[in-house]
Structures are given as C-alpha cells and as structure tokens.
Amino acid sequence: MNCEMPMRSAASVAAAEAAHPERARFYADLVNGLHAMAQPLTILRSAMEMLTLPNGGMIDQRRYLEMSSRQVARTCGMFASLQDLVETQLIEAQRVRFDLWDLLMPLIENQRRMLGDTRIEIIAARPESRVAVWGDAGRTEQALAAVLKLAGAVSISGDVIELRAVKADGYMELTCENARRHGKPMDSSERLSLAVAEANILSQNGRYDAVEDPFRVSLALPVENLDRVIGEVRLSPMRSQPMN
Amino acid sequence: MHDVICSPLSVPAESGTHSATLSASEKSRRTITRGGTAERRILIVEDDIALADFLSAELESQQFAVELLHDGEEALRALGENQPYDLLILDLNLPRLDGISLIRKMRPEHPRLPLLVLTARSQVEDKVTAFQSGADDCLTKPFSLAELLARIQALLRRNSGLVPNCSQIGDLTLLRDERRVERNGRRIELTPREFAILEVMMRNAGHPVSRATLLREVWNMPAEPSTNIVDVYMKYVRDKVDRPGERRLTHTIRGFGYELRDADA
C-alpha cells in the first residue's frame, strides 16, 4: 500500500511553501494558468472532433468553426498572460518615481468608454495631495488596466465601481471595489489576469490583496525608493536564487 | 436478496406493493418528457462559463435535460432541494465552495447520485481525493466530448442496473431516489445522516456492518476507535425504525458494529 505517498508529498510541498512563499505563489500561479488553458482547449478539442466526424455534413460547421476561433483567441490571450507572468520574475522591474493617479485617470476614461451604456458606474475619489510612488510605471499600468477591466467584467447593470487612494505605512494604497456581492463569476482567464496583476505589483516591492466576491483589489506601492532605503538587501528572492 | 424492484418508474400503481402508497406526482417526478421521449436530467457545475455553455448545448443535443450552475454553494442548494437529477457533472475548481467540499457535503444525502468529476489538475492526488470523497468517475481536461458522452452513458447504465431504487427488509422499505422510508405503512422521518446510515445498512442487510464501514461511507472518515458518533446516530435510527411492539430489525453485533436483519425471515 502506498497510500501515505500523497500525504508525504503534501507535507514536503507545504514545507517548501513555508520556506519560499513568494516562489511558491509564483509557481502556483503558473500551474493555475496552465490549468486554466485546459478550459478553452477542451472546447477546442471537442469542436475539432465534431468538425471531423464522418457525417460532418449534418452538423452546423460554421458554429463549430466560430467556437474554435473564439477558443483559439482565448488560449492565445492566456499564453500572453503566462508570458507576462514569467517576465515579472525574469526581468527586473524599474524603480522610477511616478504619479499613480496620473497613470490611472486615462485607464478609467478608457474603461468608462468600454462599459458604454451598461449602467455600470466608475467613481474615483482623487486624493488632495499628489499620489507619487516608486516603481515600474509600465507594470503598474498593466496591473491597473487588468483590475479595472475585471471590475467591469464581474459587475452588472446598476453597479458602482469605487476607486480610492490612501497613504499609510510608507505605501500608497489604491483600492478598487464593487461592494455588490455575487456579481458575475470570474472565469479562469480572468483569474489568470488577476494573478499577472498581482505579480506585476509584487515585483516592484508592492503589496497586493484581492477578494473575488464581493470584488475588491488593493494594490500598494512604496512612496519612497525602497532599494535606496534598504541598501543591498534584495526584496525579491526569485532573482537571487536558481529557478530549479 | 433484499433489494426489490419497486421503483415508481417500473411498478404500476395497481401492483399492490407498498409503492401504491406513494402519490402519483411522486411516481412520475423522475421522468421528464419532451416530445414523448424520456430524458435523463444532468446537473453541470462548472465555473468556466464558455465551457459550461458548450457542455450544456452538446448534452442537450444528445437529448439530456441539463441544468447549469457555476458555483459550489448554488449547487449544494440545488441538491438540497432534492431535485431528481440522474447525474452530477462537477468541476473541482469552483468559487464559494470547492468541488471536494461539495462532494463531502452532498454525498451523505445523495449516496446513489452518479458523480462525474472534471478536473484540470493532472496530479494523481487530486483524483484520489475526488474518488475518496465520493466521485464515481473522473475526467481530466482537456477531454474529448466523445469520451465525456461515453462516460456519462456508462455511469447512467451502471447506476440504473446495479443499485435499485428500492430496498426492503421485512416490513421496512427504503426508496433511495425519493429519500423515503416506511415501515408497515408508517412513514419514518430521518435526517440526511440517519438516512445515509440506514441506506448503508439496507445495502448490506443480513450481513454485519462494522462501525469503521459506517464511518467511512457515511462520514467519509477513517476508522477512529475513540469516537462513538456511529453508536449515537445508530441509536437515533433504531429508535425511529424499531418502535415498541414492532419486530426488531436493527441488531448490535458486540465489538463490531450493527446488522439489519428480519429475525422472522
């Protein structure tokens, strides 16, 4: 009987996770991303199967072709997200000073346009002082865009998405939330986008917290250059240790 | 054999058996008809909307009646409403209540419902956990629709052939799908856990059933010598099944467990 094997395996995994939580989280996100791709691939595989049936003339070919096209696009999007996820660990984030709110406003406007007449409102409470942070503006923009897009995707008509920035403990924290519980469920590709957003923020000495239902994402970036504050100490263990 | 054929679907009302005490609506509720064709009813719980919609459309085209839910809590609620499903297709990675937790919660109340688990995780441990929790079959994504259909047919065939809806010992009758127990025309109200215990006992009628078996099958727990939970629940069942003046059907097998036996048979 080898029924103890899974338990030993689970124990060793737990020990490894405790020793390197950031690395464990990254690997978990990668594995979850790969698993997420199984959803469109299942549809794709089955659609192909239907298209190649011997009596294929009897089925609605166009329907299965359109279905295949959508799932190929979805899978490609997931591959791109996985690529982004890997690059957050492979390429070092920039450390520059930028205004978080200046970055956010065009994204909000863009998202408002995307929501169109869905009656989903975005309210952004601009802080009185500047919202200057240290980090990678490109990665932050990518994370903010993903969070805003997801906030819209899980919302339904009549919902209000709120954004607010608060400075505390040396960080500028931006929270995006829709207080309505049980909105639309998030799908696997949306969860993968959220994982990439998280990795983008964490890779620049940021903090990140997310709740799926009701939807709330808080991301925080340092208001000082932490690299200068802590000298040679590296905050990201992923870069200082081999990936094997 | 203590399992007898007395399913409301297979026995006409005028047969003179105990099933004649069931109402006409109860006799027919497992049969959903569309255009005169009996349909099997499948509940799909899958959080990926695109995949769920695809599966639903394909199964409906195969003449199944499909109900679609996207999270574990919703599914548990639907199952709690005693909807007469013929099969449950369950994704393991669900929001609000994950698939394994859902199986553990629903299994005592639906011991016979065929359960096909879908998982995107290929690790053996995940499948083992699913089977240990009560799954009847497991399919790893990405799977092919043809394989899914074959497995559905196999599960439905297995379920309809081997475990009958109705078990009977002496004047005690248990109808699994209707979750109904009667003794000599007297309706016995049981909690889900008590029903699960009696269902296991009925399946093994005439044979001793160990406490460990009951712990495993009803609570999904390994043998635990220090717990008396089985004895406590067995007393509840016994008090309801064997009323004063009635012939005793539940018997204690000292140091082992219990047996359901009709002494006069």
Say what percent of chain A tops pLDDT 70: 82
pLDDT, residue B100, reads 93
What is the three-class DSSP state of A218? strand
In total, the C-beta contacts within 8 angstroms joining chain A to chain B are 68
| B34 pLDDT tier (thresholds 50, 70, 90) | very low
| A170 pLDDT tier (thresholds 50, 70, 90) | very high
Q: Is the pLDDT of residue A7 over 50?
A: no
Q: Is the pLDDT of residue A68 over 80?
A: yes
Provide DSSP, A33-77. Answer: HHHHHHHHHHHHHHHHHHHT-TTGGGS-HHHHHHHHHHHHHHHHH
pLDDT, residue A221, reads 96
pLDDT in tens, A200-241: 999 999 999 999 888 999 999 999 876 655 444 443 433 333
Cα A39 to Cα A34, A66, B222: the distances in Å are 10, 16, 34
State mean pLDDT over B208-237.
Answer: 82
CB contact under 8 A, A38 and B93: no
Residue B258 or B108, more confident: B258
CB contact under 8 A, B145 and A185: no
Residue A221 or B159, more confident: A221
| Angstroms from B59 CA to nearest CA on chain A | 12
Q: Is the pLDDT of residue B73 over 50?
A: yes
- What lies within 8 Å, CB to CB, of B37 at 6+ separation is B63
Say what percent of chain B tops pLDDT 90: 42
pLDDT, residue A92, reads 93
Q: Is the pLDDT of residue A189 over 50?
A: yes
| A10 pLDDT tier (thresholds 50, 70, 90) | low
pLDDT, residue B233, reads 94
What is the three-class DSSP state of B240? helix
Neighboring chain B residues of A187 at a CB cutoff of 8 Å: 47-50
The answer to whether B256 faces chain A, any CB pair under 8 Å, is: no
pLDDT in tens, B37-53: 346 899 999 988 899 99
What is the three-class DSSP state of A13? helix
| B243 pLDDT tier (thresholds 50, 70, 90) | very high
State mean pLDDT over B238-248.
Answer: 93
State mean pLDDT over B70-91.
Answer: 89
The answer to whether B71 faces chain A, any CB pair under 8 Å, is: yes
pLDDT, residue B162, reads 58
The tokens describing A29, both together, are 């996100």
pLDDT, residue B183, reads 95
The answer to whether B216 faces chain A, any CB pair under 8 Å, is: no
ipTM metric: 0.71
What is the three-class DSSP state of B138? strand
Closest C-alpha among B211, B181, B218, B206 to residue B1: B206
The answer to whether B97 faces chain A, any CB pair under 8 Å, is: no
pLDDT in tens, A31-57: 888 888 999 999 999 999 888 877 656
State mean pLDDT over B246-263.
Answer: 91
**Closest CB from A6, A46, A188 relative to B125:** A6
Question: Strands B166-169, B172-175: parallel, antiparallel or unpaired by DSSP?
Answer: antiparallel
**What are the phi and psi torsion angles at A8 (to 5°)?**
-65, -40
pTM for the model: 0.64
The 8-class DSSP code of residue B116 comes to E
pLDDT in tens, A15-28: 666 777 878 888 88
State mean pLDDT over A70-78.
Answer: 95
pLDDT in tens, A134-146: 999 999 999 999 9
